[in-house]
Amino acid sequence: MMSARKVSVYIATSVDGYIATENDSLDWLFRSEPEGDAGYAEFYETVDTIIMGRRTYDWVMEQVKGKYPYEEKKSYIYTSSPKENESNITFTSEEPSTLIDRIKKDDDGTIWLVGGGALINDFLQNNLIDEFIISIAPVLIGKGIPLFKNSEMEHDLELTEVRRYGQFAQLYYQIKKS
Protein backbone atom coordinates (compact mmCIF):
# COMPACT_ATOMS: atom_id res chain seq x y z
CA MET A 1 0.00 0.00 0.00
CA MET A 2 1.31 3.45 -0.89
CA SER A 3 1.89 5.87 1.94
CA ALA A 4 0.97 9.52 1.62
CA ARG A 5 3.77 11.34 -0.15
CA LYS A 6 5.16 14.44 1.46
CA VAL A 7 6.95 17.49 0.13
CA SER A 8 10.02 18.19 2.27
CA VAL A 9 12.37 21.13 2.30
CA TYR A 10 15.76 19.85 3.50
CA ILE A 11 18.03 22.87 3.63
CA ALA A 12 20.76 24.67 5.54
CA THR A 13 20.59 28.28 6.73
CA SER A 14 22.79 30.66 8.61
CA VAL A 15 21.64 31.56 12.12
CA ASP A 16 20.22 34.78 10.64
CA GLY A 17 18.11 32.83 8.13
CA TYR A 18 20.01 33.07 4.83
CA ILE A 19 20.45 30.16 2.42
CA ALA A 20 23.13 31.84 0.28
CA THR A 21 24.98 35.11 -0.05
CA GLU A 22 23.77 37.74 -2.51
CA ASN A 23 26.07 36.24 -5.18
CA ASP A 24 24.76 32.65 -4.56
CA SER A 25 27.81 31.55 -2.57
CA LEU A 26 27.57 28.81 0.05
CA ASP A 27 31.17 29.22 1.26
CA TRP A 28 29.91 30.25 4.71
CA LEU A 29 28.29 26.82 5.08
CA PHE A 30 31.62 25.02 4.98
CA ARG A 31 33.43 27.11 7.62
CA SER A 32 32.25 24.68 10.28
CA GLU A 33 31.88 20.96 9.63
CA PRO A 34 28.79 19.19 10.93
CA GLU A 35 29.20 15.78 12.53
CA GLY A 36 29.01 13.13 9.83
CA ASP A 37 26.68 14.01 6.97
CA ALA A 38 24.08 15.76 9.20
CA GLY A 39 21.48 13.09 8.38
CA TYR A 40 21.70 13.65 4.62
CA ALA A 41 22.08 9.99 3.61
CA GLU A 42 19.16 8.95 5.81
CA PHE A 43 16.95 11.67 4.29
CA TYR A 44 18.13 11.11 0.71
CA GLU A 45 17.31 7.41 0.91
CA THR A 46 13.60 8.32 1.33
CA VAL A 47 13.58 10.67 -1.69
CA ASP A 48 12.36 9.59 -5.11
CA THR A 49 11.58 12.99 -6.64
CA ILE A 50 13.55 16.24 -6.63
CA ILE A 51 12.29 19.73 -7.43
CA MET A 52 14.49 22.80 -7.74
CA GLY A 53 14.67 26.16 -9.44
CA ARG A 54 16.83 26.84 -12.47
CA ARG A 55 19.38 29.00 -10.59
CA THR A 56 19.83 26.25 -8.01
CA TYR A 57 20.17 23.68 -10.79
CA ASP A 58 22.78 25.81 -12.58
CA TRP A 59 24.70 26.26 -9.30
CA VAL A 60 24.64 22.49 -8.62
CA MET A 61 25.81 21.71 -12.16
CA GLU A 62 28.66 24.20 -11.83
CA GLN A 63 29.76 22.60 -8.54
CA VAL A 64 29.76 19.08 -9.97
CA LYS A 65 31.30 20.05 -13.32
CA GLY A 66 28.24 19.09 -15.35
CA LYS A 67 27.43 15.60 -13.97
CA TYR A 68 23.97 15.81 -12.38
CA PRO A 69 24.29 14.27 -8.88
CA TYR A 70 20.66 13.16 -8.58
CA GLU A 71 20.36 11.29 -11.89
CA GLU A 72 18.77 8.21 -10.26
CA LYS A 73 15.85 10.35 -9.00
CA LYS A 74 13.05 11.92 -11.00
CA SER A 75 13.80 15.63 -11.16
CA TYR A 76 11.77 18.69 -12.06
CA ILE A 77 13.59 21.95 -12.70
CA TYR A 78 11.53 25.15 -12.68
CA THR A 79 12.57 27.53 -15.44
CA SER A 80 11.04 30.32 -17.49
CA SER A 81 13.39 29.50 -20.39
CA PRO A 82 12.33 26.33 -22.21
CA LYS A 83 15.05 23.68 -22.25
CA GLU A 84 15.05 20.17 -23.66
CA ASN A 85 14.32 17.48 -21.07
CA GLU A 86 17.03 14.98 -20.24
CA SER A 87 16.76 11.33 -19.17
CA ASN A 88 15.34 11.82 -15.67
CA ILE A 89 15.12 15.63 -15.69
CA THR A 90 12.02 17.54 -16.73
CA PHE A 91 12.27 21.31 -17.19
CA THR A 92 8.94 22.89 -16.34
CA SER A 93 7.11 26.13 -15.72
CA GLU A 94 3.79 24.57 -14.72
CA GLU A 95 1.90 25.72 -11.65
CA PRO A 96 3.39 24.15 -8.51
CA SER A 97 0.00 22.76 -7.42
CA THR A 98 -0.48 21.06 -10.82
CA LEU A 99 2.95 19.44 -10.62
CA ILE A 100 2.48 18.25 -7.02
CA ASP A 101 -1.01 16.87 -7.72
CA ARG A 102 0.39 14.89 -10.65
CA ILE A 103 3.52 13.49 -9.03
CA LYS A 104 1.88 12.65 -5.72
CA LYS A 105 -0.07 10.01 -7.64
CA ASP A 106 3.17 8.24 -8.60
CA ASP A 107 5.43 6.17 -6.37
CA ASP A 108 5.56 6.75 -2.63
CA GLY A 109 8.86 8.41 -1.74
CA THR A 110 9.58 11.84 -0.38
CA ILE A 111 9.47 14.81 -2.76
CA TRP A 112 12.52 16.95 -1.94
CA LEU A 113 12.03 20.64 -2.67
CA VAL A 114 15.71 21.63 -2.84
CA GLY A 115 15.29 25.36 -3.41
CA GLY A 116 15.96 28.12 -4.07
CA GLY A 117 14.27 30.60 -1.86
CA ALA A 118 11.81 31.97 -4.42
CA LEU A 119 10.58 28.49 -5.35
CA ILE A 120 10.24 27.48 -1.70
CA ASN A 121 8.14 30.57 -1.10
CA ASP A 122 5.93 29.83 -4.14
CA PHE A 123 5.28 26.32 -2.81
CA LEU A 124 4.67 27.65 0.70
CA GLN A 125 2.16 30.24 -0.55
CA ASN A 126 0.28 27.42 -2.29
CA ASN A 127 0.29 25.25 0.88
CA LEU A 128 2.28 22.52 -0.87
CA ILE A 129 5.02 21.93 1.70
CA ASP A 130 4.50 19.30 4.39
CA GLU A 131 7.73 19.58 6.37
CA PHE A 132 10.91 21.56 6.84
CA ILE A 133 14.19 19.99 7.89
CA ILE A 134 16.40 22.99 8.55
CA SER A 135 20.06 22.66 9.48
CA ILE A 136 21.29 25.82 11.14
CA ALA A 137 24.98 26.56 10.53
CA PRO A 138 26.88 28.37 13.30
CA VAL A 139 27.43 31.55 11.32
CA LEU A 140 25.84 34.96 10.74
CA ILE A 141 26.26 36.24 7.17
CA GLY A 142 24.37 39.52 7.55
CA LYS A 143 22.70 39.62 4.14
CA GLY A 144 21.93 37.36 1.25
CA ILE A 145 19.11 35.19 -0.03
CA PRO A 146 16.66 34.53 2.81
CA LEU A 147 14.97 31.19 3.32
CA PHE A 148 11.68 33.02 3.78
CA LYS A 149 10.70 36.21 1.97
CA ASN A 150 8.69 38.93 3.65
CA SER A 151 5.05 38.18 2.93
CA GLU A 152 1.56 38.26 4.37
CA MET A 153 1.32 34.48 4.72
CA GLU A 154 1.36 32.76 8.08
CA HIS A 155 1.80 29.06 8.81
CA ASP A 156 1.71 27.25 12.11
CA LEU A 157 4.46 24.69 12.54
CA GLU A 158 4.94 21.80 14.92
CA LEU A 159 8.47 21.01 16.06
CA THR A 160 8.71 17.23 15.83
CA GLU A 161 12.43 16.62 16.33
CA VAL A 162 15.72 18.35 17.08
CA ARG A 163 19.10 16.82 16.24
CA ARG A 164 22.61 18.06 16.86
CA TYR A 165 25.44 17.44 14.41
CA GLY A 166 28.52 19.03 15.94
CA GLN A 167 27.92 22.78 15.87
CA PHE A 168 24.89 22.43 13.58
CA ALA A 169 21.33 22.23 14.94
CA GLN A 170 18.77 20.44 12.78
CA LEU A 171 15.11 21.28 13.31
CA TYR A 172 12.23 19.17 12.00
CA TYR A 173 8.95 21.02 11.54
CA GLN A 174 5.63 19.70 10.24
CA ILE A 175 3.37 22.33 8.73
CA LYS A 176 0.01 22.26 10.46
CA LYS A 177 -2.66 21.98 7.77
CA SER A 178 -5.89 23.84 8.44
Secondary structure (DSSP) of 51-74: EEEHHHHHHHHHHTTT--TTTTSE
Q: What pLDDT, on the 0 to 100 scale, is given for residue 1? A: 38
Q: What is the mean pLDDT of residues 90-116?
A: 92
Task: Report the relative pairing of strands 131-137 and 168-175 from DSSP bridges.
Answer: antiparallel
Q: What is the mean pLDDT of residues 63-88?
A: 90
Q: Are 16 and 140 in contact (CB under 8 A)?
A: yes
Q: What is the mean pLDDT of residues 89-104?
A: 94
pLDDT digits (tens, 9 = 90+) for 52-67: 999 999 989 988 987 8
pLDDT digits (tens, 9 = 90+) for 127-174: 999 999 999 999 999 999 999 888 788 899 999 999 999 999 999 999
Region of residue 156 (phi > 0: left; psi between -120 and 50: alpha; otherwise: beta):
beta
Q: What pLDDT, on the 0 to 100 scale, is given for residue 106? A: 80
132 CA to centre of own chain: 8
Domain 7-175: give its CATH superfamily: Dihydrofolate Reductase, subunit A (3.40.430.10)
This prediction has a pTM of 0.91
Q: What is the mean pLDDT of residues 76-102?
A: 92
Question: Residue ranges per domain, the chain?
Answer: 7-175
Question: Residues, the chain, total?
Answer: 178
Rounded to the nearest 5 percent, the helix, strand and coil shares of the chain are 20, 35, 45
Question: Which residues sit opposite 49 in a β-bridge?
Answer: 74, 111
Q: What pLDDT, on the 0 to 100 scale, is given for residue 3? A: 52
Higher pLDDT, 111 or 178: 111
pLDDT higher than 70, residue 2 = no
pLDDT higher than 80, residue 89 = yes
Q: Are 130 and 4 in contact (CB under 8 A)?
A: no
| Neighbouring C-beta atoms of residue 39, cutoff 10 Å | 18
Task: Indicate the average pLDDT of the chain.
Answer: 91
pLDDT higher than 50, residue 39 = yes
Q: What is the mean pLDDT of residues 118-124?
A: 93
